Chains A and B, each alone.
Chain A
Amino acid sequence: MVERDLVASAKAGDKAAFEELVSQTHRRVYTLAYRLVGDRAEAEDVAQEAYLRMFRGLAGFREEARFETWMYRIVANCAVSALRRRGRFGDVVSDEDLDLPAPEQTEQQTVDSDELTRALAELPEGQRVVVILKDVYGLSCREIGDELGVEEGAVKVRLHRARKRLADLIAGGSDTGGPGHEGEV
């Protein structure tokens, strides 16, 4: 967790404090960016863009809020902009268009993180972004909606579909490859 004093110093314009903030958080920021865009070079650009926005927005950051949540929201916003530039975020894909394996009814322990990462990469981008921000990083549906520019209800719908699909993919032991290429509203 990032120390409040460090955030306060960076907010007051101390450049060294901001650099320390970058140093302490860069792996987390990069990881989130990579999970959202699914490409290393693009994740680096997204992370750097996010830090520029953080630097410029730090003066307006309210210290009663959690710095990490604020930071994740900025990364999410930059990642969604990158996905939109790529042109695949926001296409509608119906459930019927996807040939999903039938789920097996087996009781499971926690899922291996590699398997989970591969299953996440199989999701349409719109669903992947929502489930990562909500279930991995703990943002609320309203916060996600704000960053994606969609209603909270639309976020909930995507989340519902994402969880169902993820459960099916894991139960089906799908042979997964790279990140999914379809988006969804």
Chain B
Amino acid sequence: MRVRCEDVQELLPEYAEWGPRPAGDVERHLASCQECNARLTSLRSLLRSLEGLRAVEVDPEPGFLERTLQAVQAGTGPGRVVSIAELREARTRLTSMVRDPRTGYAVASLTGAAVGATAIALLWWRIARRAMTHGAM
């Protein structure tokens, strides 16, 4: 039975990967069909080109190596994180906490309380010192 071009062409994406094979229906068809042969040649050239792409490297952003080493350090040292996703999540949580207005109010209240307590302590200390000075006279 004669092999049809469409049947052969359906096989070509895998066939292109193989080396020399014993003559069969497909090989006999390829030997006599220019169109299928051109397709095979084109697929083999595609596979060679794909293989060659491995040697072509993409430049990472500047500082990538340093950031990666830091991430590995953070992920494997004391207090390590489980994954980069977790590290990123922790960073996002911290950022959103800092940006949260409630955090601002809390920090302002604590600062106010600390200033107030310092002022009271100073006042107390001055009164006590004055009292001691008057007592001594």
Interface residues of A (CB under 8 A from B): 15, 18-19, 22-23, 26-28, 30-31, 34-35, 40, 43-45, 47-49, 51-52, 55-56, 103, 105-111, 113, 116-117, 131, 135-138, 156, 159-160, 163-164, 166-167, 170-171
Contacts and interface: CB of A to CB of B under 8 A. Distances in A.
A135 B50 contact: yes
Interface of B: 13-14, 16, 35, 38-39, 41-43, 45-54, 56-61, 64-65, 67-69, 71-72, 75-76, 83-85, 88
A161 B48 CA distance: 18
Given A48-B72, A49-B84, 6 more contacts: A27-B59, A44-B61, A49-B83, A106-B42, A160-B13, A164-B13
A106 B38 contact: yes
A100 B45 CA distance: 20
A160 B9 CA distance: 11
22 contacts: A18-B72, A22-B65, A22-B69, A23-B69, A26-B64, A26-B68, A27-B59, A27-B60, A31-B56, A45-B88, A48-B71, A48-B84, A51-B68, A52-B76, A55-B72, A55-B76, A109-B45, A113-B52, A135-B47, A138-B51, A160-B14, A163-B46
Contacts of A15: 76
Contacts of B49: 110-111, 113, 116
A44 B54 contact: no
A36 to B, nearest CB: 11
Most buried by A among B49, B69, B88: B49
Contacts of A106: 38, 42
Given A136-B50, A167-B43, A34 B38 contact: no
Contacts of A26: 60, 64-65, 68
A148 to B, nearest CB: 19
A178 B88 CA distance: 26
A15 B72 CA distance: 10
A108 B41 contact: yes
Given A47-B68, A107-B42, A135-B51, A52 B60 contact: no
Contacts of A166: 46
Nearest to B59: A27
A19 B53 contact: no
Contacts of B50: 116, 131, 135-136
Most buried by A among B13, B39, B85: B13
B61 A45 contact: no
A167 B83 contact: no
Given A18-B72, A105-B35, A52 B83 contact: yes
Contacts of B61: 40, 44
A30 B60 contact: yes
Contacts of B45: 108-111
Nearest to B53: A136
